[in-house]
């Protein structure tokens, strides 16, 4: 398995991974909208035998005070490669890449029991909340010690999250 940044030649395969992984093309449309707006901070693919089998995206998120972090979404793996650690490896590689890109903290809106393995904790513990009412599913993690904005309130995702259909 190989993990690498996306290339323009990968765009159709990335779309196909998301379309095959979700009930609607919403996530595929989101990735394209983020890319077109220049807000796809990190976009990694997983390849097996030169075939793209997974994708993870990160885009900027902002607190009311203007502190910028990174939001993980979406992540997808084609059905015949699920439950083999592809998504977990993509997420781990993505978090390392986001940190190297200069982001000090990250958020995700997802299953707490899954994302806690990467170090995500309920965002409310940091005084953060999301605009989608995610409750315990909205989680945050520091990528640099002491860098998490605390009691910063609402964390907003890139505007493309509200625009895609």
What's the rounded Cα separation, in Å, for the pair 69 and 147?
10
CA 142, 143, 144, 147 torsion-angle sign: negative
* Tens-digit pLDDT profile for residues 109-164: 999 999 999 999 999 999 999 999 999 999 999 999 999 998 888 999 999 998 76
Q: What is the pLDDT of residue 165?
A: 54
Q: What is the pLDDT of residues 19-75, one digit of tens each?
A: 999 999 999 999 999 999 999 999 999 999 999 999 999 999 999 889 999 999 999
Question: For the stretch 123-144, what's the b/e string if a residue is b when 16 or more beta carbons lie within 10 angstroms of its beta carbon?
Answer: beebebbbeeebeebbbbbbbe
Rounded Cα distance between 141 and 118, Å, is 9
DSSP state for residue 106 in the 8-state scheme: E
3-state DSSP call for residue 82? coil
Whole-structure pTM value: 0.94
């Amino acid at each position: 398995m190989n993990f690498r940044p996306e290339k323009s030649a990968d765009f159709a395969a990335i779309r196909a991974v998301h379309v095959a992984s979700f009930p609607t093309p919403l996530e595929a449309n989101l990735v394209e909208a983020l890319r077109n707006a220049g807000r796809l901070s990190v976009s990694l693919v997983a390849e097996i035998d030169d075939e793209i089998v997974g994708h993870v995206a990160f885009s900027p998120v902002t607190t009311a005070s203007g502190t910028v972090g990174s939001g993980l979404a979406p992540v997808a793996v084609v059905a015949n490669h699920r439950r083999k650690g592809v998504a977990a490896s993509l997420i781990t590689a993505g978090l390392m890449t986001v940190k190297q890109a200069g982001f000090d903290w990250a958020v995700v809106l997802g299953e707490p029991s899954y994302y806690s393995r990467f170090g995500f904790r309920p965002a409310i513990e940091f005084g953060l909340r999301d605009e989608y009412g995610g409750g315990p599913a909205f989680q945050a993690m520091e990528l640099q010690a002491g860098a998490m904005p605390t009691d910063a309130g609402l964390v907003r995702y890139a505007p493309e999250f509200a625009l895609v259909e």
